[in-house]
Structure 1
Amino acid sequence: MMAKTSYGITVAHRRGTKRGDGFLGYLVQEWLLFLTFGMLLIKSIILMGFVYSHNQSMIDMSRGIKNITYMPVCAAFLLIVTAFSFLAKNRGRLWLLLILNLLVSFLFAFDAVYLRASGNFLSTQLLRQTGNLNNLWDSIFAMFRPCDIAFFFDIPIIAVLLIISRNLVYYDSPLFTSLKARLTAFFTVIILSAGYLAASHITIDVYGHNKNNYIFYTHWNPAQTICNISPMGYHVYDCYVFFSDFKPYRLSAKNRNEIQAWIDQKNEKLPSNRYKGIYKGKNLLVLQVESLENFVVGQAVDGQEITPSLNKLLPNSIYFDNYYAQVNEGTSSDADLMTNTSVFPIRNGSTFFRFPYTSYNSLPAIMGRHGYNTKAIHPDNGEYWNWMKALGNMGFHECIDARSFKMDEIIFLGLSDGSFLRQVKDTVISQKTPFYNFMVTLSSHSPFEMPVWHRKLKLDQTLGETKLGGYFQSINYTDGCIGTFIDELDKSGVLDNTVLVIYGDHDSVHKYFNDEIQSIKPSQAWWLDNDKRIPLIIYSKGQKPETIHTNGGQIDLMPTLLNLFGIDESEYESTVFGRNLLNTREDYVLLSSGEFRGSIGETKKAEVLKGLEYADMAIRSDFFRNK
C-alpha cells in the first residue's frame, strides 16, 4: 500500500509501522550524511592536534584547528569522500557512510602511529615496502596510544543509528531510488569540490606569493604539507605523486645549476689540518648499530655499565658527542644511504625502494678507485628495505645477506647479533686488504623485548618492566656481541691496521616511547633527553682520545672519513651534501624535519634548508650520473 505524507513524498509502508516512521527514516538517511562529514572534519582536526602537539601522544585540539591552513580545502576533500554515499540507495547509503567513515578513521589513526614511528605520515610509497612488515608488527602495535581511540569516538553512535533504522520505512523518491538522480548528485558534488580545489590551486599555488602555504606541493616538512593540503588532501595528492613516479623526472638547466651552486657554496675551502690522511692505507670497517642512541654511552644503571665494550674503545677513539640522526621515512636504509653517499634521503617514501638505481659518487666507489675491496654485509635478507639492490648499485663489489649465514638464532627482525658477528668475523679476517666493510646489526630494534637469557643487566622491577629497561637490556646485549667481535679481530691481528667506525642508525627509544620515559619514577636526568643524538666513534689502535663537540649528522661522515684516509677533496667535494666535521668553522646540523641543532644564523637557515629539497631533486633525476 502506498500513501502520501504531508511532505508530499511517497512512502512504502510496512505492516505494523506508523506513518511517522517514514519521516524518521528520512532524517536518519539525510542527517547521517551531514553527521559523517562533520565527524570526518573533527577527525582531521584531531590528527592535526597530534601533529602539532608538544607530545604526539596527546591531542591539542586548539593547535589542530589553528594549523589547518585552508579549512575550505579540507572540507572540499571530505565532501568528495562523502559523495560516494550517493552511489547507494536507502539503507545501503547508511552502510556505505559507515564504511567510508571507518576507512578514513583507520587511515588517520595509522597516520598518527606512523607519525610517532617515523616523523611522517602514511604514504602510497609504502606499498612498495610491504615486505618489510613481516617482522615489524610488534613494533607497529607498540606505537599505538590509548588516545588513538578518539578517531573512532563516533562509531558507536552510528551503530546505534543503524540499529534504530533497521525497522524504519524508506522513501521511494527519485533522490534515493533513481540511479540517474544519484549519479547526478554524486557528480555534482565531485565537480563542485574539484572545481573549488582547482581554483584554489590556481589562486594560491600558481599566482600566490606565500612560499610556505602552497596547497598541491610536497614541502620538505611533512607537517607543513599536511597543514596546507589537509589530512585527506595529503593522501589524495600522495597518490598523484606515487603515479607520477612512473614518469621520468627531468631537471631544468636552472634547477641543475641551483643544485650544483648549493653544493659548491657549502664547501668552506679551508686548508688541510692535522687530521688529513692520518689513516691513509688502513682498512675501514663501519658498523651501523640498530637504535643506538648517544645517551647510553658511558652511563651505568644500578651500578652496571650499559655499553662497556663501546666505553673501552673511547680511550683510542675520536668520539663525536653531538652527532645527529638525519633519517627520514627510510629509517635504517636512510642511514645506509647517507653514510655511503653524503646525500639527504628523499622527502617522501624510501629512497632505496623508489630509486635503487640512482647513481652517486659514493664512499665504496671512491674507496674502490683507490684499490679497496668493498663489501656490504647485512644479517637480513637483501630485499629488506631493498638494501642489496641499492648498495650494489652504489658500487660495493660484493653484498652479503642472510642467505650466506646459518640462521641458528633469530631475535625479532632476523639473525641475532651474537650469531651474525660470530659468523662474519672469518670473512672480515680472511679478505684481501685494504678493505672497506659496511655492516649493520639488528637485535636492538624496538620494541626492545630481548629473550630472558640475553638480559644481563639486573634492573629493579620498576625500570625493568618499562620500554626503557628493555632498551637498556637490548643495547647491553648488542654491546657485548660487539665486544666479543672486536676481541676476535684483535687476536687475528686485523685490528692493528683497521679503523673501526661505530654509530647508531637512528634514535629509537626516545623517538617511540618518550612519553613513557618521562613518566618513570624515580627517574635520572641523563635518560630523560637524547634529542636525536647518536654516537659516532672512530677507533684506531694508538689513537689519542678526543671528544669532538661540533654539531653534525650522518651526511657528514663520508667527507670526514675520506679526509682521514687522505683522499683529495677534489674527488668528492662537488657531490656531497655534508662537510668534514674535523675541519669546519660551522657548528650546526639540519635534521630531516627541517629543524636545526647547534649555532646557525636565521638568515642562513633558509639557504641551508634548500638542501633537503635539492637532495630530493638530485636523487629523483639521477643528478650525479657521470659526475
Structure 2
Amino acid sequence: MLGKPSYGIVMVNRRGFGRKTRIVDYLTQEWMSILTLAILFFKSVVLMGFVYSSDKSIIDIGRGFSNIRYMAVCVAFLLIIVSFNFLAKGKWRLWLLLILNFLCSFLFVFDAVYLRANGNFLSTQLLRQTGNVNNLWGSIFAMFRPCDIVFFIDIPILAAILIITRKLYYSSPLFISLKSRLIAFASLFTLSIAVIVGSYIAVDVYGNNKYNYIFHTYWRPEATICNATPLGYHAYDCYVFFADFKPYKISEKDRTNIQKWIDDKNENLPDNNYKGMYKGKNLLVLQVESLENFVIGQSVKGQEITPTLNKLLKNSIYFDNYYTQVNEGTSSDSDLMTNTSVFPVRKGSTFFRFPYTHYNSLPKIMEKNGYSTKAIHPDDGGYWNWKEGLTNIGFQQCIDAKSFKMDEVIFLGLSDGSYFRQIKDTIIKQKQPFYNFMVTLTSHSPFEMPVEHQKLKLDSYLENTRLGGYFQSINYTDSCIGTFLDELDKAGILDNTVVAIYGDHDSVHKYFDDQIKNIKPSQDWWLKNDKKIPLILYEKGQAPKVINTTGGQIDLMPTLLYSFGIDKSEYESTSFGRNLLNTQEDYVLLADGEFRGNIDSAKQKELLNGLDYADMAIKTNFFKK
C-alpha cells in the first residue's frame, strides 16, 4: 500500500472507518465549505442589522438576527451559493469558494451603501442606469463607512491560508469523481430549493398573514428585504425584473380604479384669490440640487447660508411643509413629478424604463395656452436619460451640456456660476410668455467645493465635515442664483416673471445623517432628518405669505396651473397631486408609503393605492389619448 498515492498527507483507509468516523472525516475535509457558509451567514446578519436602523454605520448583530424573519430561507439561499463549489475539482474548489465569498461580499457592501442612500438594496433595474456612475464615483465612495471592512476582512486572510497550505490540501475521497461532485451539487441545490419553495407555499400561498409574504414588494423596501432576506431579495428582484419585460396590460377595472382615485382626490372647492394671480406672466422654475428646507433662514457664525433665498422670501409665497417624494430615479423623479403630477415607478428610474410614456404635462398645457417652453440642464442629456424623458413629456426644446462651454467644471459638471452666466441671454431673448424649467448641479453630494468658492467661515468642528461642505455648496449655489436673478431683473425679465424655486430631494441628511449626528457640539436645527425641501413662488413686489399646508412634489403642477389661471378641467383629471393654494387637506404621501401631515388612518389605505396606480398608469401609457 505504500506505493499507492493517498489523498494528500492523510492516508485514507476506508475499511477502517465506521459510518460516524467517515462522516466526521468528510466534514473535517469540507472545512472551507462550512466556513464559507458560516462567514456568508455572518455577513448577511451584519447587513440586515443596517435595515430599520437610524444609524447604518454601526454593526448591530442583535438587530440583524431579529430582522431575518425567515431564517431557513436565508440559509437555503446561502447553501445554493456554496453548492456551486462541487462543480470544481480538487484545490480549485477552495478557490471557487473564496471567489463566491468575494462576489457575495461585493454585493453586500454595495447593498449597504445603497441602503444608506436610498433605503433599499441594489435593484436589477439599476443595470439600465450604469451610465450615471461615470461621474458619481465621488458620491458613491462618500457613502462607505469604516464598518464596511467587515464584508472583506476575511478575504485576504483566507487567501493567505490557501496559499500557505496549498501543499497540505487533500480532498474528500467522496467528491473526487465528476459523478460524485455532480450528485453532491444537485443534492444540496435541490434541498435548498425545496426549503425555499416549501416556505413560499407555507407562507405566501397558504399563510394567513398577508403582511408577511416572503416574496412580495411592500410599500416600505425594508419589509421586502427582511422577509426575503438578502440573497432572497435579489433573487426575487431578478424575477420581477424579467417579469417586467412582458407587455403591460391594463384591465377595464384597473383603468376605472385609477381614474376614480384621481377624481376622488379632487376637492371641488370654490375658487379663491390665488386663482389666476399670475395669469399671463412668464414661469421660470429652478430645481436646485440637494436643497433642503432646514437651511432656509439659518446662519453659521453670523453668516446667512442662503442670503438670496432669504431675501426672495420677502416677496414670495413660501411653502414650509413641502416634501420630497422621489424614488429610485432621484433627481429625474423630481423632473417627472414637477412636470406631470404623477408618482414615479416603484422600481428603477421612470425616465430610463419608460421614457416614451405620454402625460398631460405642465409644458404641454402651458404651450396650449400660448407659452414657449424649454428644459435646461447643465449636464449631459443621457444623465438619468432626462433629455429623452423631458422631450417626450412635451418641452419644445431641451438644452443640455452640449450647448455650454465647459469653462469651469465642479465635480459632476458645469459649475452653477458658469451655467447661469451662459444661459441668461437665451432667457432674456426668448419669446414671451415662456415656461422654462431649469436644473442646477454644483450642490450635489459629496459637497466638496473648491477652496475659492468656500465663502463661509466655519467653526473648527464643522470644517472638513459633510455638513460643513453642504453649507458651503448651498451657499455657493444661492449666490449664483442671486447673480442670475439680478441679471434678469436688469434686463426687465423679472417685471413679468414668476420664479418657482425648490429642492430636488433631501441630500445631506439622506446620505450623511449618521455623520451629522456625530458632530459636537450640535445644534437642533440641523439634526432633524424630515425630508422637507423648500418651495418658494417669487414675484417681484409680491406681499410675503407663508403657507403651512403639507404637500409634496406631485402637487406643484396643479398649484402652478391654478395660480396661472388655467382652467381645472385641463389638468385635474390627470393629476395625482392637488392644488396647495386651494385645499382643505393637509398631508403628503412619501415614496416609501409613509405619510406626513394630518390624515386619518382610514383614508391612508386608499391613498396608498395611488403609488400602485401611478406605477400602473406609467407602465401602460394610461394617459395616451
* TM-score of the aligned structures, taking structure 2 as reference length: 0.95
User: What is the Cα deviation at residue 210 of structure 1?
Assistant: 2.5
Partner SS state of residue 288, structure 1: strand
| CA distance 1:241–1:583, change in 2 (3 Å) | same
Partner SS state of residue 502, structure 1: strand
* Paired position in structure 2 for 1:76: 76
Judge conservation of contact 1:379–1:415 (CA < 8 Å) in 2: yes
* Paired position in structure 2 for 1:253: 252
User: What is the Cα deviation at residue 28 of structure 1?
Assistant: 5.4
* Paired position in structure 2 for 1:315: 314
Write the distance in 2 (CA, Å) between the matches of 1:345 and 1:553: 13
Judge conservation of contact 1:119–1:328 (CA < 8 Å) in 2: no
User: What is the Cα deviation at residue 158 of structure 1?
Assistant: 3.0
Write the distance in 2 (CA, Å) between the matches of 1:42 and 1:606: 37
User: What is the Cα deviation at residue 170 of structure 1?
Assistant: 2.0
Judge conservation of contact 2:513–2:529 (CA < 8 Å) in 1: no
* Paired position in structure 2 for 1:7: none
* Paired position in structure 2 for 1:145: 145
After superposition, the C-alpha distances for 1:298-320 in whole angstroms (9 at most, x for unaligned) are 11111111111111110110001
Judge conservation of contact 1:47–1:108 (CA < 8 Å) in 2: yes
| CA distance 1:29–1:156, change in 2 (3 Å) | farther
* Paired position in structure 2 for 1:341: 340
| CA distance 1:313–1:172, change in 2 (3 Å) | closer
* Paired position in structure 1 for 2:412: 413
Q: 2:445 aligned with 1:446, yes or no?
A: yes
* Paired position in structure 1 for 2:474: 475
Q: Which amino acid aligns with 1:168?
A: L
* Paired position in structure 2 for 1:546: 545
Q: 2:409 aligned with 1:399, yes or no?
A: no
Write the distance in 1 (CA, Å) between the matches of 2:549 and 2:532: 12
RMSD, aligned CA: 2.1
Partner SS state of residue 609, structure 2: helix
Q: Which amino acid aligns with 1:345?
A: P
Judge conservation of contact 1:361–1:572 (CA < 8 Å) in 2: yes
* Paired position in structure 2 for 1:592: 591
After superposition, the C-alpha distances for 1:37-61 in whole angstroms (9 at most, x for unaligned) are 2222222221111012121222332
Write the distance in 1 (CA, Å) between the matches of 2:208 and 2:577: 31
* Paired position in structure 1 for 2:298: 299
* Paired position in structure 2 for 1:275: 274
Partner SS state of residue 462, structure 2: helix
| CA distance 1:193–1:530, change in 2 (3 Å) | closer
Q: Which amino acid aligns with 1:571?
A: E
Matched positions, count: 617
User: What is the Cα deviation at residue 230 of structure 1?
Assistant: 1.1
Partner SS state of residue 380, structure 2: coil
Judge conservation of contact 2:424–2:484 (CA < 8 Å) in 1: yes
Judge conservation of contact 1:29–1:90 (CA < 8 Å) in 2: no
Q: Map 1:22-37 onto structure 2 (within 5 A).
A: 27=27, 29-37=29-37
Structure 1 gaps of 5+ residues are 5-9
User: What is the Cα deviation at residue 368 of structure 1?
Assistant: 1.4
Judge conservation of contact 1:295–1:530 (CA < 8 Å) in 2: no
| CA distance 1:133–1:20, change in 2 (3 Å) | same
User: What is the Cα deviation at residue 201 of structure 1?
Assistant: 3.0
Q: Which amino acid aligns with 1:383?
A: G
Write the distance in 2 (CA, Å) between the matches of 1:20 and 1:130: 52
User: What is the Cα deviation at residue 153 of structure 1?
Assistant: 4.6
Write the distance in 2 (CA, Å) between the matches of 1:255 and 1:73: 34
Judge conservation of contact 1:2–1:12 (CA < 8 Å) in 2: no
Write the distance in 1 (CA, Å) between the matches of 2:42 and 2:120: 21
Write the distance in 1 (CA, Å) between the matches of 2:169 and 2:118: 49
* Paired position in structure 2 for 1:290: 289
Write the distance in 1 (CA, Å) between the matches of 2:391 and 2:13: 69
* Paired position in structure 1 for 2:563: 564
Judge conservation of contact 2:376–2:400 (CA < 8 Å) in 1: yes
| CA distance 1:297–1:46, change in 2 (3 Å) | same
Q: Which amino acid aligns with 2:342?
A: V
Judge conservation of contact 1:12–1:171 (CA < 8 Å) in 2: yes
| CA distance 1:172–1:216, change in 2 (3 Å) | closer
Identical residues among aligned pairs (%): 70
* Paired position in structure 2 for 1:38: 38
Judge conservation of contact 1:28–1:165 (CA < 8 Å) in 2: no
Structure 2 gaps of 5+ residues are 15-21
Q: Which amino acid aligns with 1:158?
A: L
Write the distance in 1 (CA, Å) between the matches of 2:348 and 2:42: 27
Partner SS state of residue 432, structure 2: coil
Q: Which amino acid aligns with 1:361?
A: N
Partner SS state of residue 477, structure 1: helix
Q: 2:105 aligned with 1:88, yes or no?
A: no
